[in-house]
Amino acid sequence: MPNVFDATNPPFDRLTSQEVETLRAALDIAYFRPGETIIAQNAPASELFVVIKGTVEERDGADLQALLGPKDSFDSRALVHGKSGHAFVAREETLCYTCPKHVTLGLIQSNPRFASFFYREISHKLDELARDEEERRYGSLMRARVSELFLHPPVFINASDTIEAAGHLMREIGSNALFVRDGERIGIITGMNLSKAVVLRRQRIETPVREFAHFEVVTLRPDDFVSSALVLMTKHNKRRLAVHDGERYVGILEDIDLLGFLAGSAQIVAGRIDRASSEDELAVAAREISAQVRTLRRQGVRVEVIGEVVSDLNRRLLSRLFEMVAPSEIRTSGCLVVMGSEGRGEQTVRTDQDNGLILAGPVDKATLDTFRTDFSTALADFGFPPCPGNVMVRNSAWSKPFSDYLADFRRWVALPDESAHMNVAIFYDACAVAGDERLLTKAKTTLIDLIHGEQAYLAHFARAVDAFPTPIGLFNKLITSEGKGDALDLKKGGIFPIVHGIRSLAIEHGLLETATDKRIARLRDIGVLQASFARELSQTFQFLLMLRLDGQLAASAGTSGTLVRPSSLSSMERDLLRDAFQVVKQFRELVRHHFNLGMF
Amino acid sequence: MFKPGPADEAVAIDCETTGLNVRTDDVITIAAIKIRGNRILTSERFQAVLRPDALMQAEAIKVHRQRQIDVAQGSLIWTTLPAFLHFIGGRPLVGYYVDFDIAMLDKYILTLIGIELPNPRIEISKLYYERKYGDAPPNTTIDLSFAAILKDLGIPALAQHDAFNDALMSAMMYVELRDMKDRGVRIARPRTRGAIFNPMGG
Angle at A292 between CA A288 and CA A294, to 5 degrees: 125
A230 within a domain of the structure (yes/no): yes
Q: Pick the residue from chain B with its C-alpha nearest to A24.
A: B43
- The answer to whether B34 touches B41, Cβ cutoff 8 Å, is yes
Cα–Cα dist A537/A247, whole Å: 54
Tell me which chain B residues have a C-beta less than 8 angstroms from the C-beta of A478: 198, 200
More confident residue, B53 or B164: B164
More confident residue, B94 or A293: B94
- Flag whether residue B180 sits within 8 Å of chain A, measured between CB atoms: yes
More confident residue, A571 or A225: A225
Mean pLDDT of the region A357-381 = 89
The whole-number pLDDT of residue A236 equals: 83
Residue after which a domain boundary falls, among A451, A479, A509: A451
The whole-number pLDDT of residue A496 equals: 87
A183 within a domain of the structure (yes/no): yes
Is A313 in the same domain as A423? yes
More confident residue, A390 or A94: A94
Residue A234 has pLDDT above 60, yes or no: yes
Q: ω into residue A11 within 30 of 0, thus cis?
A: yes
Mean pLDDT of the region A263-281 = 71
Tell me which H or E stretch contains B108.
helix B98-113
Is A168 in the same domain as A229? yes
Angle at A388 between CA A447 and CA A445, to 5 degrees: 10
CA A487 to chain B, closest CA, distance in angstroms equals 11
Q: A31, A479, A559: which to substitute to probe chain B, counting the most B Cβ within 10 Å?
A: A31
Closest CA to A158 of A205, A197, A213: A213
Structural domain for B49, as ranges: 9-183
Cα–Cα dist A267/A351, whole Å: 21
Q: Pick the residue from chain B with its C-alpha nearest to A482.
A: B195
CA B65 to chain A, closest CA, distance in angstroms equals 31
- Flag whether residue A467 sits within 8 Å of chain B, measured between CB atoms: no
Q: Which of A162-166, A234-238, A433-437 has the lowest mean pLDDT?
A: A234-238
CA B196 to chain A, closest CA, distance in angstroms equals 8
The whole-number pLDDT of residue A109 equals: 83
Mean pLDDT of the region B138-144 = 83
Cα–Cα dist A8/A240, whole Å: 43
- Flag whether residue B75 sits within 8 Å of chain A, measured between CB atoms: no
Residue A97 has pLDDT above 90, yes or no: yes
Structural domain for A323, as ranges: 308-451
The per-residue b/e assignment along A164-202, b for 16 or more CB within 10 angstroms, e otherwise, is: ebbbeebeeeebbbbbbbeeeebbbbbeebbeebbeeee
More confident residue, A449 or A351: A449
Inter-chain touch B39–A30, beta carbons under 8 Å: yes
Task: Residue A214: count other Cβ atoms within 10 Å of its Cβ.
Answer: 14
Q: Which of A99-108, A305-314, A470-479 has the lowest mean pLDDT?
A: A470-479
A282 within a domain of the structure (yes/no): no
Closest CA to A259 of A281, A285, A240: A240
Tell me which chain B residues have a C-beta less than 8 angstroms from the C-beta of A92: 154
Which of B42, B164, B176 comes nearest A27 by C-beta?
B42
Which of B38, B168, B183 comes nearest A30 by C-beta?
B38
Q: Pick the residue from chain B with its C-alpha nearest to A558.
A: B202
Q: For residue B22, what is the domain's CATH number?
A: 3.30.420.10
Closest CA to A149 of A263, A261, A266, A249: A261
B170 within a domain of the structure (yes/no): yes
Number of Cα atoms under 13 Å in the Cβ half of residue A146: 28
Task: Residue B192: count other Cβ atoms within 10 Å of its Cβ.
Answer: 5
A302 within a domain of the structure (yes/no): no
Residue A512: exposed, middle, or buried by beta-carbon count in 10 A (0-12, 13-18, 19+)? middle
Residue A402 has pLDDT above 50, yes or no: yes
- Interval A21-64: pLDDT, tens: 889 899 999 999 988 999 988 888 889 999 998 888 888 777 77
Number of domains in chain B: 1
Tell me which chain B residues have a C-beta less than 8 angstroms from the C-beta of A1: 42-43, 45
Is A440 in the same domain as A472? no
* DSSP string for A249-271: EEEEEEHHHHHHHHH-SHHHHHH
Q: Quick one: pLDDT band at residue B28, thresholds 50, 70, 90? A: confident
Residue B25 has pLDDT above 70, yes or no: yes
- Interval A511-566: pLDDT, tens: 999 999 899 999 999 999 999 999 999 988 988 888 877 777 665 333 444 555 55
Task: Residue A453: count other Cβ atoms within 10 Å of its Cβ.
Answer: 9
- Interval A168-205: pLDDT, tens: 999 888 788 999 999 888 999 999 899 988 898 888 88
Most confident range, picked from A215-219, A381-385, B26-30: A215-219
A240 within a domain of the structure (yes/no): yes
A284 within a domain of the structure (yes/no): no
Q: Quick one: pLDDT band at residue B75, thresholds 50, 70, 90? A: low
CA B80 to chain A, closest CA, distance in angstroms equals 20
Q: Quick one: pLDDT band at residue B192, thresholds 50, 70, 90? A: very low
Is A165 in the same domain as A103? no
Residue after which a domain boundary falls, among A235, A262, A289: A262
Cα–Cα dist A116/A105, whole Å: 12
B193 within a domain of the structure (yes/no): no
Number of Cα atoms under 13 Å in the Cβ half of residue A320: 25
Residue after which a domain boundary falls, among A77, A101, A119: A119
Mean pLDDT of the region A556-577 = 57
Tell me which H or E stretch contains A80.
helix A76-80
Q: For residue A422, what is the domain's CATH number?
A: 3.30.460.10
More confident residue, A174 or A136: A174
The whole-number pLDDT of residue B201 equals: 29
Mean pLDDT of the region B137-152 = 87
Residue A491 has pLDDT above 80, yes or no: no
Q: What does pLDDT average to over chain A?
A: 81
Residue A574 has pLDDT above 80, yes or no: no
Which of A28, A33, A558 comes nearest B40 by C-beta?
A28
Inter-chain touch B40–A25, beta carbons under 8 Å: no
The whole-number pLDDT of residue A561 equals: 47
Is A523 in the same domain as A580? yes
Is A336 in the same domain as A430? yes
Q: Pick the residue from chain A with its C-alpha nearest to B175.
A: A31
Tell me which H or E stretch contains B99.
helix B98-113
| Backbone dihedral angles phi then psi of residue A203, each to the nearest 5 degrees | -80, 145
Residue A217 has pLDDT above 70, yes or no: yes
- Flag whether residue A556 sits within 8 Å of chain B, measured between CB atoms: no
- Flag whether residue B179 sits within 8 Å of chain A, measured between CB atoms: yes
Q: For residue A544, what is the domain's CATH number?
A: 1.20.120
CA B41 to chain A, closest CA, distance in angstroms equals 5
Which of B165, B180, B199 comes nearest A4 by C-beta?
B165
- Flag whether residue A27 sits within 8 Å of chain B, measured between CB atoms: yes
A138 within a domain of the structure (yes/no): no
Q: Quick one: pLDDT band at residue A5, thresholds 50, 70, 90? A: confident
Cα–Cα dist B131/B177, whole Å: 8
Angle at A486 between CA A482 and CA A490, to 5 degrees: 130
Task: Residue B43: count other Cβ atoms within 10 Å of its Cβ.
Answer: 19
Is A535 in the same domain as A489? yes
Cα–Cα dist B170/B38, whole Å: 13
Q: Pick the residue from chain B with its C-alpha nearest to A1.
A: B42
- Interval A496-517: pLDDT, tens: 889 999 999 999 999 999 999 8
Angle at A150 between CA A188 and CA A276, to 5 degrees: 115
Q: For residue A247, what is the domain's CATH number?
A: 3.10.580.10
More confident residue, B174 or A554: B174
B194 within a domain of the structure (yes/no): no
A328 within a domain of the structure (yes/no): yes
Number of domains in chain A: 4
Residue A415 has pLDDT above 50, yes or no: yes
B195 within a domain of the structure (yes/no): no
